[in-house]
Structure 1
Amino acid sequence: MKLFLLVAGLLLASPALAQRQTFPPIDEAGQNPSLVAFRADLLAKIEARDTDAVVAAACPDIYLSHGTAGGPEEFRTNLTVPPETLGEEFKDEAAELRDFYWSQLQQTVSQPGYFDDQGEFWMPHYWRIILPATVDPFTAFYVSGESITLRQAPSRGAPILALISHEIVIVPDYQPDEEYQKIRLTDGTSGYLLSDFLASMVGYRAALVRSEAGDWQLCTFVTGD
């Protein structure tokens, strides 16, 4: 469940009326020592690329996609990416796709997280932010850094307009291969921000859930709205 509300209409307000909000990363994992131990162990298995061990740490019904059944075998396929499961034009990309999936899993589970009202632990922490209904979530990004320079032009030498820390910004036309993205702040200011510090609000997130037996499991790893 998302807990922090980004005030409705804020992203469309005029510069004279709008306010900027920051959402600093806070990791609530320390509230539960058994969760801390499970996450550290899971990360070690992910870093070792131990497919069997990572799959064994998943829920029997792990949620992996908004359009598939999920489950451990689908999770294993996502982790291994057998070329025969891909279309002919993508078979040569199997290794690249596999590496990307592992890297996204490692990065996501490494993020600060929070407990929802069901006791599930969600990562990353900014997934708890509720966007206004007027905002297309696919254009919303979290600035994952402190005092990141917003520049007048897409160049490291361009004049600095503001310093951005842990805010939600709008990127109307994200360009995957560009060093800088043109963004808009909630107060209406536009400029250019380094792509490395922009995390999509519909990017990967993960949930760790305690079973009835008391064991923590990875029960969600999904991307999209």
Structure 2
Amino acid sequence: MKKTTIIFSILMAAIHFGSAQPSKFPPINDITKDKSLVTFVNQLKVAVQKKDKAFLLSALDEKVMSDLGGDGGIAEFKKIWNLDKGDTSIWHQLSRVIELGGAFNKSDPEGRYTFAFPYVHLIDLEDADDYINVGVITGKNVNVREKPDLKAKVLMQLSYDVIWFVEAEQALQKTEGTNPWGDPEWYLIETLDRKKQGWVFWKYVHSPIGYRLYLFKNKQGKWKISAFVAGE
């Protein structure tokens, strides 16, 4: 088995494949179950807000993964996120996944992916292929609009619903516009029963294969970032 496949299998192990497709997936935030984790996450939040590169680098495990097809390591992390040049979107991406909340990963065979942000990544799926197309509404009473426009007609409201990205298997091509960080601004989605479609603003929907942050406690008892990756 190739190294890439092994790493992918480990990182995707957080997605449990259950016996029934859930219709809703409300927020989970297990941080308070470990006081040392609370301290580390709070420090990380402050560092992200201040764009503190020194703290971020100190928080990385020496084998940190930043690319499912890469070799890992801090040098690779710095290169992928362009940290030496300062023009990076990592602060936005980290802020978003952390603010969504996270949970302990019970499917962690190596002990390196103990805690995962965002909670969306831990969704129970009926079929192993579903993670390519599925998404989760991450807010309450989120407007689904007729067009990708904040002034467009509201077709319905969804709260923590599991949805389908329309044509998500083709890199979520049914999108409109981009936000300040270059990500799609709007997503065309379908309800789980595939009876209704509409546009959702980017802040209120997330994919299990979007960016996810993994933390673990090393042998010295310190929390470290073991991976920050995206993709299938």
Structure 2-normalised TM-score?
0.75
Distance 1:182 1:6, change over 3 A: farther
Larger Rg: 1
Indicate conservation of the 8 Å contact 1:78/1:101, yes or no: no
1:109 alignment partner in structure 2? 98
Indicate conservation of the 8 Å contact 1:6/1:129, yes or no: no
CA deviation map 1:11-39 (0-9, x unaligned): xxxxxxxxx61111020000001100001
Distance 1:157 1:64, change over 3 A: closer
2:188 alignment partner in structure 1? 182
Which one of 215, 219, 222 corresponds to residue 226 of structure 2?
219
Q: Provide the rounded CA distance (Å) in 1 between the counterparts of 2:81 and 2:213.
A: 15
Indicate conservation of the 8 Å contact 1:203/1:223, yes or no: yes
Once the two structures are aligned, what percentage of the paired residues are identical? Answer: 22
- Say whether 1:126 aligns with 2:120: yes
Secondary structure of 1:181's aligned partner:
strand
Indicate conservation of the 8 Å contact 1:143/1:167, yes or no: yes
1:80 alignment partner in structure 2? 82
Q: Which runs of 5+ in 1 are unaligned?
A: 11-19, 84-93
Cα offset, 1:134, TM superposition = 6.8
CA deviation map 1:77-117 (0-9, x unaligned): 2343557xxxxxxxxxx83xx1x222112222333111122
Q: Provide the rounded CA distance (Å) in 1 between the counterparts of 2:185 and 2:59.
A: 36
Q: Which runs of 5+ in 2 are unaligned?
A: 1-12, 168-173, 178-183
Indicate conservation of the 8 Å contact 2:118/2:213, yes or no: yes
Secondary structure of 1:36's aligned partner:
helix
Indicate conservation of the 8 Å contact 1:147/1:165, yes or no: yes
Q: Provide the rounded CA distance (Å) in 1 between the counterparts of 2:47 and 2:94.
A: 11
Distance 1:3 1:104, change over 3 A: closer
1:158 alignment partner in structure 2? 153
Structure 1-normalised TM-score?
0.77
